[in-house]
Amino acid sequence: MTQALDTQTAIAVIGAGAMGSGIAQVAAQAGHKVYLHDQREGAAEAGRAGVAKQLQRRVDKGKLEQQTFDAIVGRIHPVSALSEIADSGLVIEAIVEDLEIKRTLLADLEELCNEETILATNTSSISVTALGAKLRHPERLVGMHFFNPAPLMALVEVVKGLATDNAVAEIVHATATNWGKKPVFATSTPGFIVNRVARPFYAESLRLLQEGAADPATLDAILREAGNFRMGPFELTDLIGHDVNYAVTNSVFNSYYQDTRFLPSLIQKELVEAGRLGRKSGQGFYRYTEDSERPEP
């Protein structure tokens, strides 16, 4: 049976945005030392502070002991130089959804880390095969696709590119299981499983909005209450971030030779151009104050 990485293995997370911070929390909760790096100055510290803020709520509610809180937060190490992560056994990149930028980072990581280090990408939609194509050892690259928010969502897609070594995918699968997740294997088709299925959900909702069927709050409420979805499409894409979601839609659209089923929406393009990225920028379809649990119209 494949062994999961043990807790003596240091994990590195590159990109300390919404996903990277959440993944760092998951790995730290599982007992690993976690390096957190972001190219933006102060972002890794802010990522750790965000994790501490989330966990503090659980301490306040009596659901987490102070000692456990201290241990988890203490295991997350923001690092300003990428070279500081060199002794990691698994590096998970969660940077911007862009093929060339991710490729450049992965090439740098390959130079830095030793040959046994597993490289994982949290990409939502970019081909793992394409991401690995310029590596000297593409067999050690695998998709490890978490969902937002990473500490709460159980599913992890373990995505095999054409060159991915099965043993590497098995180790990542076993490790995700140890981290309390429910991993599934997927191949490197555009959008993998969930983002492929989710595209028409967002696209049709945006078309309904464009046609003036109802406002976002009404459409969200209908899907929550009648459709039994946990979140409607507009509050969900506000949570994901419109920059991320728009990049994913474009990536899936282009990967399927511009099949109009996956046509990106001008509404989403406008939101991105206006900087209304959703929760993270304070406004998307809804407005958000710092501690708002639910969107405010």
Identify whether 124 is a catalytic site residue.
yes
Closer of 19 and 159 to ligand NAI (Cβ): 19
Q: What are the CA-CA distances from residue 145 to residues 5, 149, 226, 237 (Å)?
A: 17, 12, 29, 17
What's the maximum distance between 2 C-alpha atoms anywhere in the chain? 55
Q: Considering the candidates 88, 127, 195, 265, report the single residue annotated as catalytic.
A: 195
Closer by beta carbon to ligand NAI, 46 or else 174: 46
Work out how close the CB of 164 gets to ligand NAI at its nearest, in angstroms, rounded to a whole number: 18
**Would strands 76-79 and 141-146 be described as parallel, antiparallel, or unpaired?**
unpaired
* Residue (105 or 142) nearer to ligand NAI, CB: 105
Is there a catalytic annotation at residue 157?
yes
Residue 93 bridge partners (DSSP): 14, 121
Contact residues for ligand NAI, defined by CB under 6 A: 14-20, 38-40, 43, 94-97, 101, 105, 122-124, 146-148, 240-241, 244, 248
Closest distance of CB 94 from ligand NAI, Å: 4
Tell me, yes or no, if 145 is annotated catalytic. yes
Q: Which of 145, 235, 242, 245 is catalytic?
A: 145
Contacts 24+ apart (CB under 8 A), 41-47: 41/80, 43/16, 43/17, 44/16, 44/78, 44/79, 44/80, 45/78, 46/16, 47/16, 47/17, 47/20, 47/21, 47/78
Instruction: Let me know the angle formed at the C-alpha of 142 by 136 and 143, rounded to the nearest 5 degrees.
Output: 135
Helix axes 242-255, 266-273, angle to 10 degrees: 140
Q: How far is CA 104 from CA 23, 118, 133, in A?
A: 21, 16, 12
Among the listed residues 93, 97, 110, 157, the single catalytic one is 157
Three-state DSSP at 125 gives coil
Closest CB to ligand NAI among residues 101, 107: 101
CB of 12 to ligand NAI, least distance (A): 11
Active site residue: 122, 124, 188, 265, which one? 124
The nearest distance, CB 6 to ligand NAI, in angstroms, is 26
* Shortest reach from residue 238's CB to ligand NAI, in Å: 10
Closest CA to 9 of 91, 72, 73: 91
- Report the alpha-carbon distance of residue 154 to residue 60 in Å, rounded: 24
| Shortest distance, position 8 Cβ to ligand NAI, whole Å | 26
Residue whose Cβ sits closest to ligand NAI: 17
21 is catalytic: no
Residue closer to ligand NAI (CB basis): 59 or 193: 193
CA separation for the pair 224, 218 (Å, rounded): 10
Is the Cβ of residue 194 or residue 222 nearer to ligand NAI in the bound state?
194
The catalytic residue positions are: 124, 145, 157, 195
